[in-house]
Chains A and B, each alone.
Chain A
Amino acid sequence: MSAYEQWIAFLTIMRKEVRRYLRIWTQTLLPSAITMSLYFVIFGTLIGKRIGTMGGVSYVEFVVPGLIMMAIITNTYANVVGSFFGAKFNNSIEELLVSPTPNYVIVLGYVAGGVSRGILVSIIVTSVALFFTKLDIYNWFVVIGVVALTSVAFSLCGLINAVFANTFDDVNIVPTFVLTPLTYLGGVFYSLDLLPDFWAGVSQINPLVYVVNAFRYGVLGVSDVDITVSFTMLIGLTVVAFAYAMHLLSTGTRLRT
């Protein structure tokens, strides 16, 4: 395929993905807006007022970056794992597999779909957050970099999950039993300084601590971890996940017999 044909194939996959999640927006976009509104009301306004400040900022300001990041992670992951597994489940993935579209275009097309949903949801959640607090971005470069890398990395993880999934239960295992606990324990609602030394040390092996704190640094200028380490981890996760996704597609694991 020529570069132009590959570009069309990429746009086709992305367009299909975007239209899919827009078609079912009540399942894909609305829940994040509602859930985050509740978080802002309960943790930001009601409980947050009693907590006071954290990391040198008001509690509601402190939780906003973590909640935005939580929405991006869950939505990018869910978009790709749901869509790719759905295509596997109804065999429509064969439409792509029999075509000359290269594997990396397939991966990038699905990732682009996931990233676009992640960005759209982050805009929705940020808009909701503005009803509860003001947001002055500390470093746009860090904000954009973290959102882009996180969206790509978790879209890739969703794709890998979908390749291995045999049932819809398999699609939900990672988000329910891995991503959600790691996100909640990743410093969304608290600063690691509050934890005893042992648990603060344990938190260092939670990758989402770095994601949440890197984004918080970009928004507020405060972080529990070194921003360079955060970026290194995110880039590392993205590269490894991309390489693994490519390996799965090129070997045809669970896709070809």
Chain B
Amino acid sequence: MPAALEISSLQKTYANGFEALKGIDLKVEEGDFYALLGPNGAGKSTTIGIVSSLVSKSGGKVRICGIDIDEDFSLAKKQIGIVPQEFNFNVFENVEDVLIHQAGYYGIPIGLARERAVYYLEKLGIADKQHVQMRMLSGGMKRRLMIARALIHEPRVLILDEPTAGVDIEMRRSMYEFLRETNEQGRTIILTTHYLEEAEMLCRNVAIINHGNIVTQGSIKDLLRGLNSETFLLDTQDALPPRIEVPGYALRQVEPQCLEVDLAKGQELAPIFTALSGAGVTVVSMRNKENRLERMFVNVLEGAS
């Protein structure tokens, strides 16, 4: 089975000389849930722009579901649905028309387009907005409509460029649920996001791009295993004793009832619990100080710079 997206030596130099992509290689297998991460200006949107045809490449190859975009871009475009970062609607159209028009551009007859529009609007929880003008929708509703629009021609690959930017938590969670379900049905999903917990929660594989280069890629689990240290916060029932030490461990008391612990790779938490228990302190909860993917992301970017 061909990869959902295969990019080799992809380059983009803009007219002003800025080198946005310096020959990246990327492979996303069919059915994957893939995160493309990187700081602002790293080249994520340029990559998506090239795949969607809004940006012309300066060099390299792109294959979508095995179809070379230089040979048959029209067929390749049918395989992908794009959810862009910025809203790109005609605000004077109503919700249903936006979907029916988009379907029409893919050659889908109006009857079938209407059926699918109703289906996706229901799935995304905005069925009651079917006949509402675009400008009357909230930001979150517009984001969900963009997902419906990208799926209206039932593509094999769904590419989302920061789909949850500015979306409230409840709506974000319902979007996660929908995306998971869509992925479970066999559709490949490629996601760019600045919410790293989102990527960790949803995606199986990841690539980190910086200054137009892929600095690392692979399974999220494997990459997280490579972390050399983690920091945990332990909340205690009682006030911590003034001085608590465990040989080989870096401990900091950040609040009267909160202890910060740096855990090197291979170290266990058991000696800390034993020491606290010995001091008559009960731990009531424990959490990672920072998102693990975020730590890995920062490490990778620092290592690359």
| Residues on A facing B (Cβ under 8 Å) | 1-2, 4-6, 8-9, 11-13, 15-16, 19-20, 23, 86-87, 90-92, 94-102, 252, 256-257
Min CB gap B294→A, angstroms: 31
Would B54 and A100 count as touching, CB distance under 8 A? no
Would B49 and A257 count as touching, CB distance under 8 A? yes
B206 within 8 A of A: no
Other A-B pairs beyond A92-B89, A99-B102, 13, CB < 8 Å: A1-B74, A12-B100, A13-B104, A20-B92, A91-B88, A92-B88, A95-B105, A98-B52, A99-B77, A99-B106, A101-B106, A256-B53, A257-B14
B286 within 8 A of A: no
Would A12 and B53 count as touching, CB distance under 8 A? no
Main secondary structure of the interface of A (DSSP, over half): helix
| A to B contact number (C-beta, < 8 Å) | 85
19 pairs of residues in contact across A and B, judged by CB atoms under 8 Å:
A1-B74, A1-B107, A5-B107, A8-B104, A9-B105, A13-B105, A15-B104, A87-B90, A90-B90, A95-B98, A95-B105, A96-B105, A97-B54, A98-B53, A98-B54, A100-B73, A100-B74, A100-B77, A102-B74
- Known contacts: A91-B88, A92-B89. The answer to whether A98 contacts B82 by CB under 8 A is yes
Min CB gap B95→A, angstroms: 14
Would B108 and A8 count as touching, CB distance under 8 A? yes
Q: Please, what's the 1-or-0 string for B1-39, where 1 marks a CB less than 8 Å from any CB in chain A?
A: 000000000000010000000000000000000000000
Total interface residues on B, using CB and 8 Å? 36
Alpha-carbon distance between A103 and B108 when the two chains are bound, in angstroms: 18
Alpha-carbon distance between A91 and B90 when the two chains are bound, in angstroms: 8
Residue of B nearest to A99 (CB): B105
Would A11 and B88 count as touching, CB distance under 8 A? no
Min CB gap B48→A, angstroms: 10
Top 5 A-B residue pairs of the complex, sorted by shortest distance between their CB atoms: A5-B107, A12-B104, A99-B105, A91-B88, A100-B74
Alpha-carbon distance between A143 and B107 when the two chains are bound, in angstroms: 35
B173 within 8 A of A: no
Alpha-carbon distance between A99 and B84 when the two chains are bound, in angstroms: 13
Min CB gap B19→A, angstroms: 14
Chain B contacts for A95, CB-based, 8 A: 88, 98, 101-102, 105, 149
B55 within 8 A of A: yes
- Residues of B60-81 at the interface with A, using a CB-CB cut-off of 8 Å, are 73-75, 77-78
Min CB gap A256→B, angstroms: 6
Min CB gap A163→B, angstroms: 15
Would A91 and B101 count as touching, CB distance under 8 A? no
Alpha-carbon distance between A8 and B153 when the two chains are bound, in angstroms: 13
Alpha-carbon distance between A252 and B92 when the two chains are bound, in angstroms: 26
Alpha-carbon distance between A13 and B105 when the two chains are bound, in angstroms: 8
B181 within 8 A of A: no
Would B105 and A101 count as touching, CB distance under 8 A? yes
- Known contacts: A2-B107, A6-B107, A8-B107. The answer to whether A97 contacts B53 by CB under 8 A is yes
Residue of B nearest to A3 (CB): B107
B271 within 8 A of A: no
Alpha-carbon distance between A229 and B249 when the two chains are bound, in angstroms: 94
Alpha-carbon distance between A91 and B142 when the two chains are bound, in angstroms: 14
Would B77 and A98 count as touching, CB distance under 8 A? yes
